[in-house]
Structure 1
Amino acid sequence: MAAPTGGTRDGSPFLGCLRRLARHAVAALGLLLATAALAADPAALRVGAADDDLSVLLRMAKSTADLPRAGIALDMESCTSGADCVERLLRDDFDLVAASAFPIVFAGLAGHDVVIVSSIATLRNSVSVIGDRRSGIADAGDLAGKRVGVVKRSSGDFVLDSLLLTRGVDPSLVERVDLATGEMPQALVQRRIDAVVVWSPHRERVAQALGPNAVSIPIPGLYTASYNLVTTRAKLARHGAAIESLLRELATAEQRLDDERQIIRLLPGADARSTQNQVDAWQRLHPSLSIEPSLVQQLRSLARWAVREGHAPAGAGIDAAGMVDSSLLRRVRPHATERP
């Protein structure tokens, strides 16, 4: 006997309709889940930094933070220097880089729309002048008429000028030899130069190469290096949310670092000398998520120096205040821009 129309057999129009509705519902659910998964994917952020003590907060965040959960897919790569990092930022190799103020200022003087979103460390007495005793160098005044190895257009170049002027030495009386920091120890040993302007870890290598002939020339607080996170305005607009998330992870890393400092001080049986060396290094290096009130003035000063020394065209300038954007930092740490 034939089943009545509209019955409940597998081939009935009623069940066919249900199956079609179910297929559409599954497809819609799949699309919804795929869209949600896409939205939950961490934002890719390409970050460049030199592999040195100044980038300690970045390294800590990368190694210990749950960055994907924070919404960041961090692709961090080493640069040879801050200048290299900034150059690669402008070539679109990176979205965010860490660098001192010098390459940032030079990028601004060249017309690039670079912007600092936060400093991540400051370092006092970061640059040293080391002379060769065999060349008759005992103090800054003895540098007149000597050959000094220096990285041109760098903090070392600026510090050398400042040191000579404060000691009453005409900078034009010093012959500057443009050298990479890695070339300086050998150049001194071979007596191709008489002194160098250098920073860690190359400072220690220079002193070791010269041995008892190394003379460290005091630099009385002429320069405090700031290590900054910098991007471009276009990249800031595109990656602002990911950069803000990274700043939050860096703030957490800073707190962990502060805790570790206290722990090392209190370790029972810790070697007193090595602990004191560590404390001394920390006193010079201050990893901190902040923007110091003096940063804008430092950018202006460096730009004026660069133009005066012919490192930039006459009449070139920067909008120093416009090169610092603290809006993301203030969301993470509201009082970070108010530190004395």
Structure 2
Amino acid sequence: MKKTVSVIILCLAMALSGCAGSAHSANEVHIAIQPSAAFIPLYVAKEKGWIEEALEPMGVSVKWETFESGPPMNESLLSGDSDIGVIGDVPVVTVVAPGNDISLIAIAAQAADSYAILVPTDSGISSAADLKGKRLAVTFGSTAHNMVEKYLATADLTIDDVDLVNIAAGDAAFVLSSGQADAVSIWEPNVTRITADGTVRILASGSECGLAGTNGIVARDKFATANPEVITQILAQYKRAADELPGLDDATMGAVAAALGVETSQMDQIIPKFKYTVEITQEDIFALNDTIRFLNENQILRKDYDITESADGSYYKGY
């Protein structure tokens, strides 16, 4: 199983490395987005049209590209189809590995407890040790995958001790309700949505196993260095949206909730789990290096490096 997981993750970062190019004109930016609550500010900025408004004087148009999770987004970034994207820690350390010409340019959010391992409410599983021999579903190459590794380690277990299966994030609820998995590891807003009717409960949250839940904003080096002000303006609007979340109007909040597939009322439960920061701090560097170390120890990433080699926080001007 470990070998299979390694191949899936490595093929994204290695098979496509060196292939990145500009598949579209310089007067447009392609932004990759995914329906994770870690990126609510980007959804707000999208709904408000703030990025389009900021880039219009530069003659730059915005193309939005939606992905279900980080791994397919990485493929798009590596192929040059997307210029900038928002992803979790495992996709970050995979795609910005030296040689891929993609950099970490900002932090989207820190949110350890937005990740959780879920089990049916009537399940007899009550601890990490109880997962031994069980079928555990997760999206390979995601931050939720990192959580699986860390949570199992609290009981001196590894992925070799469970039947780990790869699923699309959108299938998490179905595999549990249909009995195809004993547990799933997933992120918000899926956690809130899946547990809402009481048939599924949280076995563990990210903070219980040392998961930092660091989500990043990454960009292709070729695009960013050629268009630094475009990147700066996108980050400025992300921060603007993060700052305005507490007083966000109902219409916009409702639109974002719909994009995430949750009720507007559930946003009050989801948003407090996140710290939307933008600036890259030493805490973030430590957390991402820990992800690199952990994945290497488990022979998943197999490419040791320091995240500072692939981080460039100069585009964010502290708006």
Q: Secondary structure at the match of 1:192?
A: coil
Q: Secondary structure at the match of 1:56?
A: helix
Structure 1 residues 68, 132: closer, same or farther in 2, change over 3 A? closer
TM-score normalised by length of structure 1: 0.71
Q: Which has the higher contact order (CA 8 A, sep 6+)?
A: 2
Indicate which of 194, 206, 219 corresponds to 2:205.
219
Structure 1 residues 317, 215: closer, same or farther in 2, change over 3 A? same
Structure 1 residues 110, 166: closer, same or farther in 2, change over 3 A? same
Measure the CA separation in 2 of the matches of 1:70 and 1:284.
Answer: 36
Kindly state the Cα deviation for residue 152 of structure 1 after the two structures are TM-superposed. Answer: 2.2
Q: Secondary structure at the match of 1:121?
A: strand
Kindly state the Cα deviation for residue 321 of structure 1 after the two structures are TM-superposed. Answer: 0.5
Residue in structure 2 matched with residue 327 of structure 1 by the alignment: 314
1:140 aligns with 2:128: yes
Query: Is 1:146–1:174's contact at 8 Å kept on the other side of the alignment?
Result: yes
Measure the CA separation in 1 of the matches of 2:264 and 2:122.
Answer: 34
Q: Secondary structure at the match of 1:290?
A: coil
Offset from partner CA, 1:260-313 (integer Å, 9 cap, x none) = 39xxxxxxxxxxxx9996444332122332223222222222222222223234
Kindly state the Cα deviation for residue 93 of structure 1 after the two structures are TM-superposed. Answer: 0.8
| RMSD of aligned alpha carbons | 3.0
Query: Is 1:165–1:171's contact at 8 Å kept on the other side of the alignment?
Result: no
Q: Which segments of 5 or more consecutive residues in structure 1 lack a partner in the other structure?
A: 1-41, 262-273, 335-340
1:308 aligns with 2:269: no
Residue in structure 2 matched with residue 230 of structure 1 by the alignment: 218
Query: Is 2:32–2:66's contact at 8 Å kept on the other side of the alignment?
Result: yes
Measure the CA separation in 2 of the matches of 1:153 and 1:172.
Answer: 16
Residue in structure 2 matched with residue 28 of structure 1 by the alignment: none
Measure the CA separation in 2 of the matches of 1:134 and 1:56.
Answer: 32
Superposed, 1:1-340 pairs within 5 Å as 43-62=27-46, 63-65=48-50, 66-71=53-58, 72-109=60-97, 111-132=99-120, 136-169=124-157, 171-207=159-195, 211-212=198-199, 214-219=200-205, 221=207, 222-260=210-248, 278-313=267-302, 316-329=303-316, 332-333=317-318
Measure the CA separation in 2 of the matches of 1:275 and 1:85.
Answer: 26
Residue in structure 2 matched with residue 32 of structure 1 by the alignment: none
Query: Is 1:43–1:242's contact at 8 Å kept on the other side of the alignment?
Result: no
Structure 1 residues 172, 85: closer, same or farther in 2, change over 3 A? closer
Q: Secondary structure at the match of 2:248?
A: helix
Query: Is 1:153–1:311's contact at 8 Å kept on the other side of the alignment?
Result: no
Structure whose CA Rg is larger: 1
Kindly state the Cα deviation for residue 143 of structure 1 after the two structures are TM-superposed. Answer: 1.1
Offset from partner CA, 1:152-202 (integer Å, 9 cap, x none) = 232222212211222344553222122223333333333232111122233
Structure 1 residues 110, 185: closer, same or farther in 2, change over 3 A? farther
Offset from partner CA, 1:112-157 (integer Å, 9 cap, x none) = 1221111232223121112235552122221122221122232222
Kindly state the Cα deviation for residue 325 of structure 1 after the two structures are TM-superposed. Answer: 0.6
Question: How many residues end up aligned between the 2 structures?
Answer: 277
Offset from partner CA, 1:188-247 (integer Å, 9 cap, x none) = 3332321111222333454368x54x3421336122323322113222211212111222
Q: Which segments of 5 or more consecutive residues in structure 2 lack a partner in the other structure?
A: 1-25, 250-262
Measure the CA separation in 1 of the matches of 2:63 and 2:219.
Answer: 15
Aligned residues with identical type, % of pairs: 20
Kindly state the Cα deviation for residue 109 of structure 1 after the two structures are TM-superposed. Answer: 4.2
